[in-house]
Structure 1
Amino acid sequence: MKTKLLGAALVAALLASTTVPTLAETIGVTLARADSVFLTILRQGMEGRAKAMSGLTLQVEDAQNDPQRQLDQVRNFIAAGVDAIVVTAVDGDGTPAMTKLATEAKIPIVYSVHPPADLETLPEKTAFVGSDEKQSGTMQTQEVCRLLGGKGAAYVLMGPLNNHSSIVRTQDIEDVLATPDCKGISIVDRQAAGWDRIEAQNVMTNWLSSSAEFDAVIANNDEMAIGAIQAIKAVGRDPKTVVVAGIDATPDGLAAMKAGDLDVTVFQNATAQGAASVDAAAALAKGEATDRKIWVPFELVTPQTMEKYAKAQ
């Protein structure tokens, strides 16, 4: 099973490429949720790549965070006779059924961002495009540890408890805080906030009402980090007195960093992932071979380096 890593130079070349194949295909795309900031950028990356491919059409559907709805969308794509399918999965546990349906219909399927449960056993004409989550939470928490000098207390805001990215990012936090240089940092509490700004604000508000001492908030994504910042400001506390960390380096996340409220984030190149997902789906639809795993690296973002990433969005 082959694995391809898209380095920074290769990612840049992918996005800047002016030589694209001529196609006459329809790719069905089902997004886990259309109201996600990150997945909106991913979709834009897909649409930009498809626009550069003459004759390629995307049919995009919103699963509304409902695994059954997403499975039905895959069934509908198959019934409509699309040439390939791209899925950002609501729930990794539901992906084997989608893989089976697409394989039986002889239609290529590409999983984007959220890895499928059957990642290690993907059959022919399937692929995964994403970033290695072992990098994301690790980079994030190592920087938090550095800023705290290896001592303090932190709250952890998690994504959905059944989501692969959330599970791995949270485990990354725990693994880093177990290392000798960072074991002086304890976790006060951890709660799921569904990748959502408002949910995270509510969770953080409840934590603040407990009067527990804390020095950092480590969130599985920028949206939840921003929700925590809003809650901290609402009680009259300056967020600059706390280390707040997110992941994704979304435009809103970078704006919060520029304002001095967000201290750490990790760039997940949604635009490149979207483009690479369309490339893989188009190649498989033409009967061409592609790597089963296509990795787009994470990159640490700090106030000192954020301008570079603001230009990338």
Structure 2
Amino acid sequence: MKKMIMGAALAVMMSTAAHAETVGVSMALFDDNFLTVLRNGMQDYAKTLDGVTLQVEDAQNDVAKQQSQIQNFIAAGVDAIIVNPVDTDATAAMSKIAADAGIALVYVNREPVNVDTLPEKQAFVASNELESGTLQTQEICNLLGGKGKAVVMMGELSNQAARMRTKDIHDVLATDACKGITIVEEQTANWSRTQGADLVTNWLSAGTEFDAVIANNDEMAIGAIQALKAAGKPMDKVVIGGIDATQDALAAMAAGDLDVTVFQNAAGQGKGSLDAALKLAKGEAVDKKVYIPFELVTPANLKDYQAKN
């Protein structure tokens, strides 16, 4: 009887070991509100899965460090790797490293430059950036009645999302309904609240007049709000729009300061990337591009999103 119990226990242990999987995760930056929600969503989901362990590293916005982390994951024998790229133009080399090692690789949130030529066992999970800036700018256009002056704050130009969201803005403002809106300033604030505040302060100091701030993310939009308030500008005279629907942004909207944001499901992207990585590690088929939809958020539907990000 004792032998049977021991045999059964050993079989369970062997079965568990056979299905235990380790996934290496390299995040571009820990010190980022949206990416923190994404990372937490991934880690919370991993806790619900038997035998799945995450090894999460902070690349600290350093491309070389991120590439080194990928190499270290491979040397450690992980089953799959998830990367939130520091620089989306540097992903071809990362793909080659993983492909040469035969390790599954999933990019999350930021679209790799080689997205259309990803090797086998690689995929991309995010939201479609054709939607983000389009939803945002169409709503700002509606609020302005199709005319006025706008300033644009861009994210890091090394990120495809910043370039795509900015293109969305220009595409919407080129339409008949919105061509009465003129962009009077357009500069990068690198996704940063502090840099966003500094940029708007500089514009105000230079006498730049504008009716709307169109920011590539919520952090920069919040920086704009801080700068406008510090300058004594009435918030009901300027339309402010961001993207991500972070908790801080939703609080700013509840306070009447932020007019538009776009919900990007950070936790959903985290879960989706882990699902894709585990499937690829097992040799299962996964779409090369897995999109989690963007959703427009305004004061009218704010309550539906306050518990989401």
TM-score by length of 1: 0.92
Please give the secondary structure, in 1, of the residue aligned with 2:181. strand
Find the counterpart in structure 2 of residue 97 from structure 1.
93
1:166-205 → structure 2 map (5 Å cutoff) = 166-205=162-201
TM-score by length of 2: 0.93
- Give yes or no for contact 1:23–1:53 (8 Å, CA) kept in 2: no
1:46 aligns with 2:42: yes
1:106 aligns with 2:102: yes
1:245-256 → structure 2 map (5 Å cutoff) = 245-256=241-252
Q: Displacement of 1:160 after TM fit? A: 0.8
1:33 aligns with 2:29: yes
Find the counterpart in structure 2 of residue 260 from structure 1.
256
Q: Displacement of 1:161 after TM fit? A: 1.3
1:223-238 → structure 2 map (5 Å cutoff) = 223-238=219-234
Q: Displacement of 1:292 after TM fit? A: 1.1
- Give yes or no for contact 1:108–1:125 (8 Å, CA) kept in 2: yes
How many pairs does the alignment contain? 292
Distance 2:91 2:230 in 1: 40
1:118 aligns with 2:101: no
Percent sequence identity is 60
Distance 1:30 1:238 in 2: 42
Find the counterpart in structure 2 of residue 58 from structure 1.
54
**Alignment match of 2:236 (pick from 232, 236, 240):** 240
Paired amino acid for 1:55: G
1:253-277 residue CA offsets vs partner (Å, 9 max, x unmatched): 0000000000000000001000010
Paired amino acid for 2:101: A
Distance 2:19 2:35 in 1: 25
Extract structure 1 runs of 4+ deviating beyond 4 A: none
What residue ranges of structure 1 are gaps of 5+ in the alignment?
Answer: 1-21
What residue ranges of structure 2 are gaps of 5+ in the alignment?
Answer: 1-17
1:134-173 → structure 2 map (5 Å cutoff) = 134-173=130-169
1:279-290 → structure 2 map (5 Å cutoff) = 279-290=275-286
Find the counterpart in structure 1 of residue 3 from structure 2.
none
- Give yes or no for contact 1:268–1:298 (8 Å, CA) kept in 2: yes
Please give the secondary structure, in 2, of the residue aligned with 1:256. helix
Paired amino acid for 2:37: I
Paired amino acid for 1:164: Q
Please give the secondary structure, in 2, of the residue aligned with 1:311. coil
Please give the secondary structure, in 2, of the residue aligned with 1:310. coil
Distance 2:157 2:111 in 1: 15
Q: Displacement of 1:311 after TM fit? A: 2.1
Q: Displacement of 1:240 after TM fit? A: 2.2
Distance 2:195 2:208 in 1: 20
Please give the secondary structure, in 2, of the residue aligned with 1:312. coil
1:59-98 → structure 2 map (5 Å cutoff) = 59-98=55-94
Q: Displacement of 1:23 after TM fit? A: 4.0
1:62-121 residue CA offsets vs partner (Å, 9 max, x unmatched): 111111111111111111111100000011111011100000000000000001111001
Paired amino acid for 1:154: A
Find the counterpart in structure 2 of residue 9 from structure 1.
none
